[in-house]
Structure 1
Amino acid sequence: MKPQFVDILAPAGSRAMMEAAVFAGANSVYLGVTGFNARRTAANFEVDELPEAVAFCHARGVKVNVALNTVLYDDELPDLAEVVRAVAKSGADAAIVQDLAVARLVRQIAPGLALHASTQMSVTDLAGAKALAAQGFSRVILARELTADEIREITAHCGIETEIFVHGAHCMCVSGQCYMSAFYGGRSGNRGACAGPCRLPYTAEGKTDALLGLKDLSLMDHLPEIRDMGVACVKIEGRLRTPEYVAAAVDSARRALANEPYDRAMLEKAFSRSGFTAGFYENHYLTGEMFGHRTEEDGSATKAALPALRELYRRERQSVPVKLALEMLPDRLALTVSDDIRSLTLSCPVVYEEAKNDITPALQRSLAKTGGTPFFAEEITCKILPSKFCPLSAVNELRRDALAALLEQRSAITPQEVRDIAPEPITRAMPRIPKLRARFASVRQLTAEAASMLSAWTLPLREAGQVPEEYRAKTVLALPRALFDDKMVAAALETAWRFGFRRFEAQSICGVGLIRQTLPEAEISGGFGLNITNTLSAKEYAGQRLASLTLSPELTLAQANAISAEVPLGLIVYGHMPVMLVRACPMRNVMDCAVCKQQGSLADRKGMVLTVECSGSGPAGAREIYNPVPLWLGDRMQEVGTDFATLYFTRESAQEVQQVLKAFMQNEPCEGNFTRGLYYKGVS
């Protein structure tokens, strides 16, 4: 049985990186357009550079996926629409998107452009992948945190292509669910400007280490198994790296998929953080062995390896098969060269001499010399005139001209269909007086007095059995932010339904899909983890019959107040915001799970303490890391113009909940340290 083809997808943060990827043997590249991708500090490509980049790649049989994988604000959507048109006209193959507003514009403007769901959409389960398939996505890029069994299950049953990261940097947080860079420094990871605060040193239990930094991922040893799972594409991270790094990773992946040995030591020298890890894939992510950071020794090794690495892409790789047919006509030579879809013939006059021997072998050797081009001779045929000899210099020149002409034909741009659509009117929302809601970590925080002040409240799904019957009608049960075990969560949903609960909240497309799949009649609300930052995205989720939506905490109040949709919209106005959602536990660097009690804390360089809470060490478990100081808008509620405002309670006692609620009801300022979050300063 012939092995399944697997697409090796390489990063192209610059023209030099793109060429290195192609010359080293990548099947596809992904690149960003300046301003609208998750690696804004990479060199990236201007819109007018796209056609040339696509032509270069397509001529060599390499596909181009364009990353449009950030969330956008309302005032950016017209410019994004123009970028979508330019991407389609360039002939690019696919758009990688995070924001459903971008997906909507791609479907409307360039329906022939394939939609790939970015890993920023936090897809960790089968239900999420199926939900995206139903929305017209042809590929889903799965979260890096999945095990081999989880990847296999999703790939086998989701109905669209799956793509996984197999090499490169590991974000500590589930992609799309990190707000640490935004809250710490105003630079949003969801908008491509992550400052990497997780790479800084933190202290826990008196020990200082890079407790939030993971080693780089490498699954090269597992690529044959991944291919056999049916994964369509293996992706290399690294648009901020170098051409040498890209070439090393592509070459290693190509060899590994061919069951050939690759130079792991050289791959580590190209770039690593204290070596590599496959902890998530191999299902040993709770051992503490995944953590690492970039050392001076790592940097020195990379510098020493650069000359050898450049040899991997110094020459054009001959990867495109062609057939060459030479015919000696009475007064000229004719050469036909053809690839899989096109054929062309060139000829030149020639004066023959008498030949003593069969010249066919010499002609074949001459035609096989395709070095310096992307072509290799898959088949060579020669139709000669008996006893005639032609100068090999003429054959060589004809071969060069024919291959150059074929390359030019292959470089011709085939634009995608582009539709002219009228911009969708964005009606500015009328000023609203928000109703007060709350999120509780435990039903023990919910008292009768608190309930009387709130229009609704959210509790974790696991609390369903503890909620008094009189509170159930106003209770929304929230699914875990990380969904790694569909079966367990689906069973909990069914149990809650039997208890009489009808309202549920999802923090990702996975949650939306799982609720709808398990309880088709349930009311679904969208949490802040959906990262809704514009009106079109809000309308997309409203069109999927979500009953209410919590907007992203990375909006300013002015931006949030201006968003409108057909369903109630809200903001979080109080609480220790969850700034990271992680599967690998940072506390395992300093303690064992047996003594952790599912709680811990990390201190940053300024002595600020981040709380870590664990939902369990089993396959469904994850860790939440919370901002050191609470968000507070109690004295600014008159400036909040959404339909509802949520107080996000975590460790507060019932008494403290009462105090906060009363302070908000009376528009009081915070008595201790607090933050206004990003509601006034915004993010870059």
Structure 2
Amino acid sequence: MVPECRVPPARPAWLPELLAPAGDWDCVRAAVENGADAIYFGLELFNARMRARNFTVEELPALMEWLHLRGVRGYVTFNTLVFEPELPQAEALLRAMMVAGVDAVVVQDVGVARLVRMLSPDFPMHASTQMTITSAAGVDLARELGCQLVVLARECSIPEIRRIQETQARHPAGRPLPLEVFVHGALCVAYSGQCLTSESLGQRSANRGECAQACRLPYGLVADDRPVPLGDRQYLLSPQDLMGLELLPELIRAGVASLKIEGRLKSPEYVANVTRAYRQALDRLAAMARTPEELPPVWNVDPETRYGLEMAFSRGLYTGWLRGIDNQALVHGRFGKKRGVYLGEVVRVENGSVILAAVGPVRPGDGVVFDAGHPEVEEEGGRVHAVEPVGRDGSDVARLRLRFGHGTIRWARVRPGQKVWKTSDPALERSWRRSFEGDQPRYCRPVIMRVRGQAGAPMELCVTDEQGRSVTVRSALRLEPARDRPLTPEVLQEQLGRLGGTPFYLAGLECALEGSVLLPFRELNRLRREAVAQLERLRKEPPRWTVRAEPVTGPRTRDEVSADGPAPAPGVPAGPALTVLVRSMEQLDAALNWGAETIYCDFENPKQYPAAVERVRRINAGRSRPATIWVAGPRICKPGEEWILRQLAASRADGFLVRNADQLYHFHGQRCVGDATLNVANHLAAAFFLERFGVERVTASYDLDADQLEALVRALPPGRVEVTLHQHMPMFHMEHCVFCAFLSQGHDYRDCGRPCEKHRVQLRDRVGALHPVKADAGCRNTVFNARAQTGAEYAGRLIRAGVRHFRIEFVEEPGDEVVRTLSRYAALLRGEIDGETLWRELRLVHQLGVTRGTLRRG
């Protein structure tokens, strides 16, 4: 039996694209058969979900043919950093995409974006959310790189999206770049592209698709050296999952061009259910309004849809940051894994069964779990065998007895008061799977048919699809005058509309036959089949992108680097020099007294910068070799935060440690150093910042090990790459504020009482390490690794490669430790001690020890 074809309604131009995830072929079918306009997927390399099954390069042509036949676009996620030795491999992969007819590539790495444009002037490119774009300046940067669409950071609210759109509308380049936002799925607590947690703790970089999900683990909160009692709230960094379904009218009015569903690691059933929910909502909105302004102000999610979304995957559903910041609501802290639908509380346990105060639906066969408040340990749960009503016990809440298979539940571990969650609904899961099983198309695309002809001539059938492609076929037999049963529009509609088993449905028929004529039905059927076959072949043809024939990457000699790379930096020291990053006035004084010559100030409050600059100027008056002071801004800049840039400028510092697009544009023409937040991993990325913005040098990405770092340094003139040799790695960088969420009753900075100004806060992990938490001027939090790391053993090798600036970063170290650390690293650079000796010394003087860091793999 041929499955019924689901027919989409006509859609207005203002309706956003619906973009669904696909980790494998089943997910592709699940997305397409449930109404996705486009899918995004990864190949076996360079994608941010390396744990997904992904696709091979060999599969790519067939996959794109199948998608284009079904009227669906396919975007390849190339959204990781690419190291210098990998550039030829990246080039080969990009060429394969272009030849296969991929509709767009989604990139994180600025160097990869440049590589795309070196290879092709017209291959579509999207800026990944891994680019951490939160402002109009970020969009401008993506435009300069040649992107055609920008995926905004998940932390952008709808008002901020509107402001970005408004600023774009005034851009001299003209038409604003389309914006894409995530509307459903897991939320990363850290900014994508700025999370170094997995790299810091286990050398599994999120910027390389190997996130270990440390945000989903339990943490303790320590304020001013005392544990903060939080009860059952242990998952302090695990946000609820995003659900933006109720905000679709607002997102459409904000001008969002594409709505993205997260989930390349999720099941095909999840993809099917979530895609269908958003497809149905979008189509209903399209049917009720001619313009976005006519859409209803509020869009309510019906209980059945919400139930399905919770069952598909849910850690709790919330609107994320789309409505703005609410730190209390974003992270409930009670669990960090899938729960599903809340069923109620255990009233009592008796006779191998449980009495439930039920607030949710439960049936035999459903899977449930008993929540004892400790989700980090194995929990009791199983399939329900029987459900029996037992009355209400004087309560408005129904009481149900749930029975389970013998031996499946250890009843001694189940207690009254425990919460019960439904984690599986087999009947619902079967219905999701039926929506995409088999080879027959279920979600069909419209075609228009036109017939014309006259007696004595062949009949002509023209078929046009929704994308404007047309084919025309002619009958082998001539039309004859009809004495009875002529080809009326109704007859033609009946015969030509038999499109079962194809990805089409007949949306309209124009009949231009002259007089009363007929043609045998077998010939009509042959015409229809031939036209459909031709149209299918036409739809499968890949788009033709311009591709440069000559290779553009490969090993480069020093002479080639000098000839075609950025110019050598002015004033590069002949030998290695230390730069120092401090985060307090005490550390600044210590660095100055020690004799530091290049100091970066990274204070939480930029209003302190003028005083810091003045202090350096005063000390310089008595020094033969004056120190330069550079000030750093926050890692993130959002609309409305331009005051921070003005504060930095007003400090009259010698230069700026720039961390994002806003700072690159604002301080262009002044002395600047690019920080590690720019994610420079190859010479193409480095050259962009060095040449386009004139930064004196760039700080290498913290994702590089020693071999990769050396390859990057050798691909650039000496002195153009700064290396952080000693630091507490900044792990999580979050819009979420731990101070507000767990040390106040407020929702954001307006009503939290600013506990960040009163308390010193740390997160205690499962092994007892205390990771410092700092808040910046935008109320964003950074969690620093408790243990410092050193690359001291690689200093000599990097000096020989061409590194001239080595950075030492401090977080909470007292002044005497700053002096001691700087003295020992200065001795290292002078050759008085070796790297291993310094590492062993540092291990002895640091309470938690010092790791060898991410430069050392394995």
TM over 0.5: yes
Equivalent-residue separation in structure 1 for 2:212 and 2:72 (angstroms):
32
Q: Does 1:579 align with 2:724?
A: no
Equivalent-residue separation in structure 1 for 2:760 and 2:451 (angstroms):
72
Query: CA deviation digits over 1:258-314, x for unaligned, max 9?
Result: 345665324424533332111311113322443453245567236553112234435
Return the match for 1:489 from 616, 623, 644.
Answer: 644
Q: Does 1:372 align with 2:501?
A: yes
Cα–Cα, structure 1 residues 459 and 269, in superposed 2: closer, same or farther, change >3 Å? Answer: same
Structure 1 segment 238-317 matched on structure 2, within 5 A: 238-260=263-285, 263-291=304-332, 293-295=336-338, 297=340, 300-301=423-424, 303-314=426-437, 315-317=441-443
Shift of 1:372: 2.8
Matched with 1:225 is: 250
Tell me if the contact between 1:108 and 1:421 (Cα under 8 Å) persists in the aligned partners: no
Shift of 1:538: 1.6
Equivalent-residue separation in structure 2 for 1:354 and 1:144 (angstroms):
67
Q: Does 1:629 align with 2:779?
A: no
Return the match for 2:825 from 659, 664, 677.
Answer: 664
Return the match for 1:466 from 572, 593, 611.
Answer: 611
Q: Does 1:503 align with 2:503?
A: no
Code of the residue aligned with 2:556 in structure 1: it is I
Tell me if the contact between 1:598 and 1:613 (Cα under 8 Å) persists in the aligned partners: no
Tell me if the contact between 2:448 and 2:506 (Cα under 8 Å) persists in the aligned partners: yes
Structure 1 segment 389-538 matched on structure 2, within 5 A: 390-424=519-553, 425-427=555-557, 433-447=575-589, 450=592, 452-460=594-602, 461-469=606-614, 471=616, 474-484=628-638, 485-496=640-651, 500-513=652-665, 515-516=666-667, 520-538=668-686
Shift of 1:373: 2.2
Equivalent-residue separation in structure 2 for 1:411 and 1:562 (angstroms):
42
Q: Does 1:189 align with 2:189?
A: no
Tell me whether 386-395 or 412-421 shows the greater mean CA deviation.
386-395
Q: Does 1:560 align with 2:736?
A: no
Matched with 2:6 is: none
**SS of the counterpart of 1:563?**
helix
Tell me if the contact between 2:85 and 2:711 (Cα under 8 Å) persists in the aligned partners: no
Tell me whether 638-647 or 174-183 shows the greater mean CA deviation.
638-647
Cα–Cα, structure 1 residues 468 and 284, in superposed 2: closer, same or farther, change >3 Å? Answer: closer
Equivalent-residue separation in structure 1 for 2:514 and 2:143 (angstroms):
59
Query: CA deviation digits over 1:135-178, x for unaligned, max 9?
Result: 32221111001111111111232331211111111111000011
Equivalent-residue separation in structure 2 for 1:49 and 1:614 (angstroms):
46
Cα–Cα, structure 1 residues 443 and 393, in superposed 2: closer, same or farther, change >3 Å? Answer: same
Q: Does 1:171 align with 2:347?
A: no
Q: Does 1:652 align with 2:813?
A: yes
Structure 1 segment 129-148 matched on structure 2, within 5 A: 129-148=139-158
Matched with 1:342 is: 470
Tell me whether 157-166 or 307-316 shows the greater mean CA deviation.
307-316
Cα–Cα, structure 1 residues 365 and 467, in superposed 2: closer, same or farther, change >3 Å? Answer: same
Cα–Cα, structure 1 residues 633 and 407, in superposed 2: closer, same or farther, change >3 Å? Answer: closer
Q: Give the CA RMSD over aligned residues.
A: 2.8
Question: Which sections of structure 1, spanning at least 5 residues, go unmatched?
Answer: none
Tell me whether 214-223 or 319-328 shows the greater mean CA deviation.
319-328
Equivalent-residue separation in structure 2 for 1:604 and 1:493 (angstroms):
35
Return the match for 2:35 from 25, 34, 51.
Answer: 25
Return the match for 1:607 from 764, 768, 771.
Answer: 768
Equivalent-residue separation in structure 2 for 1:611 and 1:99 (angstroms):
29
State TM-score, norm by structure 1: 0.91
How many aligned residue pairs are there? Answer: 672
Matched with 1:126 is: 136
Cα–Cα, structure 1 residues 296 and 28, in superposed 2: closer, same or farther, change >3 Å? Answer: closer
Tell me if the contact between 1:551 and 1:569 (Cα under 8 Å) persists in the aligned partners: yes
Question: Which sections of structure 2, spanning at least 5 residues, go unmatched?
Answer: 1-10, 169-175, 222-227, 286-300, 342-421, 563-572, 618-626, 745-751, 829-837
Shift of 1:407: 1.1
Tell me if the contact between 1:532 and 1:551 (Cα under 8 Å) persists in the aligned partners: yes
Q: Does 1:543 align with 2:586?
A: no
Cα–Cα, structure 1 residues 244 and 396, in superposed 2: closer, same or farther, change >3 Å? Answer: farther
Code of the residue aligned with 1:681 in structure 2: it is R
Tell me whether 20-29 or 360-369 shows the greater mean CA deviation.
360-369
Cα–Cα, structure 1 residues 356 and 39, in superposed 2: closer, same or farther, change >3 Å? Answer: closer
Equivalent-residue separation in structure 1 for 2:13 and 2:531 (angstroms):
33
Query: CA deviation digits over 1:178-237, x for unaligned, max 9?
Result: 111112222111011112121122222244522211111111111122112111111111
Equivalent-residue separation in structure 1 for 2:317 and 2:591 (angstroms):
53
Equivalent-residue separation in structure 1 for 2:535 and 2:338 (angstroms):
48
Equivalent-residue separation in structure 2 for 1:279 and 1:321 (angstroms):
39
Equivalent-residue separation in structure 2 for 1:324 and 1:311 (angstroms):
35
Equivalent-residue separation in structure 2 for 1:303 and 1:405 (angstroms):
41
Equivalent-residue separation in structure 1 for 2:486 and 2:702 (angstroms):
81
Tell me if the contact between 1:124 and 1:510 (Cα under 8 Å) persists in the aligned partners: no
Equivalent-residue separation in structure 2 for 1:109 and 1:629 (angstroms):
43
Cα–Cα, structure 1 residues 256 and 289, in superposed 2: closer, same or farther, change >3 Å? Answer: same
Code of the residue aligned with 2:280 in structure 1: it is R
Equivalent-residue separation in structure 2 for 1:232 and 1:12 (angstroms):
20
Percent identity for Structure 1 against Structure 2: 29
Shift of 1:37: 1.0
Q: Does 1:322 align with 2:365?
A: no
Equivalent-residue separation in structure 1 for 2:166 and 2:525 (angstroms):
50
Tell me whether 53-62 or 384-393 shows the greater mean CA deviation.
384-393
Equivalent-residue separation in structure 2 for 1:162 and 1:400 (angstroms):
40
Equivalent-residue separation in structure 2 for 1:450 and 1:639 (angstroms):
28
Equivalent-residue separation in structure 1 for 2:591 and 2:49 (angstroms):
48
Query: CA deviation digits over 1:509-531, x for unaligned, max 9?
Result: 34323x24xxx432221111111
Shift of 1:653: 1.8
Shift of 1:410: 1.2
Equivalent-residue separation in structure 1 for 2:277 and 2:138 (angstroms):
31
**SS of the counterpart of 1:447?**
helix
Equivalent-residue separation in structure 1 for 2:812 and 2:795 (angstroms):
23
Tell me if the contact between 1:181 and 1:196 (Cα under 8 Å) persists in the aligned partners: yes
**SS of the counterpart of 1:554?**
coil
**Higher gyration radius (CA):** 2
Equivalent-residue separation in structure 2 for 1:501 and 1:152 (angstroms):
34
